[in-house]
Amino acid sequence: MAYITKITVQKKLKDRYNIFLDKGRGEEYAFSVSEDVLIKHGLKKGMEIDELDIMEIQYQEDIQKAYTQSIQFLSIRMRSEQEVRQHLKKKEWDAPIIQEVIHKLKKFNYINDLEFAKAYVRTQINTTKKGPQLITKELNEKGVAEDSIQKAIKEYDEHLQIEHAKALIEKNKKSSKRISTVEYRRKMEQMLFSKGFPSWVVQEIIVNEPFENDLDEEWESLCYQGVKAHKRYMKYEGFQYEQKMKQALYRKGFSIELIEKFLNEKEEYV
């Protein structure tokens, strides 16, 4: 059994208190507590406490320290529950402490995965051109439950998805130079899928956007790709050379008619 002999305010941290005990060997420093823990346990001079009391006080103190760290972590931006758990785990808090902190954070609405997901979706809409499937994947990785994700992703309406997909196409138009219309369309389709747009958006864009090169542009692209292919296959001759050239350029999306025209006129370009 021990008695609290003195409680003093720390010099640098005015909301923390040093607790001194007498365990029968005279007064000695025992531990420090936050103001919340001090009040919760009604600690005061002359109070009698035992080892179990001390263990409980220190347990509550650990919860308060971890809680404070969580609040600091959340002050930078909103976080998912999983992100907070991972942060506390990195700080080497035990699972029971983490669970108590999560419970407290939820009680005061400092973490709310549905609100976090909605805010995350809005931020991605306003600052990026990601599609809904990519945003969904990112929320999954942050540990947000599927039902919350599905409610949040409704913030990303169909009109906005089309707008963002069109903006990406416009931004990447330069990459269409020196490639065939077919190859350009294929690249844009792959790009939209990689950015997380659903099939219906991709098809809407592919069908309605003007991807066609005019004849001069297509011919210029074929000549550029044809010269590159010629450098690769010039060691071959006759039929073998023509077959390799045709196969290479056909895979690039050029028509057989244009490929044969290039092969007939290649001396002008190579």
Domain end marker among 87, 107, 127: 107
Same domain, 165 and 243: no
Banded model confidence at residue 213, pLDDT cuts 50, 70, 90: low
Please give the average per-residue pLDDT across 237-257, as a whole number.
87
Range of weakest confidence among 99-113, 154-168, 219-233: 219-233
d(CA 74, CA 243): 63
Quick one: 179 and 101 in the same domain? Answer: no
pLDDT value of position 116 = 97
**In this structure, what are the phi and psi dihedrals at residue 87, rounded to the nearest 5 degrees?**
-60, -45
Residue that the structure tokens 């005015």 belong to = 14
More confident residue, 259 or 173: 259
Are residues 227 and 199 part of one domain?
Answer: no
Question: For position 240, which CATH number holds?
Answer: 1.10.10
Is 60 exceeded by the pLDDT of residue 25?
Answer: yes
What is the pLDDT averaged over residues 217-233?
A: 84
pLDDT of the residue at 176? 57
Six token digits for residue 44? 């005061």
Same domain, yes or no: 235 and 178: no
Q: What is the CATH number of the domain that holds 140?
A: 1.10.10.10
Q: Looking at residues 98-119, what average pLDDT do you find?
A: 97
Does residue 100 share a domain with residue 13?
yes
Q: Are residues 50 and 90 in the same domain?
A: yes
Instruction: Give me the pLDDT at residue 114, please.
Output: 97
Residue of 157, 189, 159 whose CA lies nearest to 172:
189
pLDDT exceeds 60 at position 175: no
Most confident range (mean pLDDT) of 13-17, 62-66, 172-176, 238-242 is 62-66
Of 99 and 12, the one with more pLDDT: 99
Do residue 251 and residue 224 come from a single domain? yes
Residue 208 has pLDDT above 80, yes or no: no
Q: Residues 84, 116: contact at Cβ < 8 Å?
A: no
> Residue 212: which pLDDT band, with cuts at 50, 70 and 90?
low
Q: Select from 8, 222, 124, 170 the least CA-distant residue to 133.
A: 124
Give yes or no: residues 173 and 257 share one domain.
Answer: no
The arithmetic mean of pLDDT across residues 30-54, rounded, is 93
Q: Number of folded domains in the chain?
A: 4
- Give the pLDDT of residue 69: 96
Question: Of the candidates 192, 208, 224, which is a domain's last residue?
Answer: 208
Do 20 and 61 sit in the same domain of this protein? yes
Domain span at residue 25 reads 2-107
Residues 150 and 164 occupy one common structural domain? no
Mark whether 121 and 178 lie in a shared domain.
no
- Whole-number Å distance between alpha carbons of 38 and 17: 8
Lowest mean pLDDT among 23-27, 105-109, 233-237, 263-267: 263-267
Asked if residue 167 and residue 143 are part of one domain, the reply reads no
Q: Which residues contact 242 (CB under 8 A, 6 or more apart)?
A: 263
Percent of the chain with pLDDT over 70: 95
Confidence of residue 120 (pLDDT cuts 50, 70, 90): very high
Around Cβ 28, how many Cβ atoms within 10 Å?
11
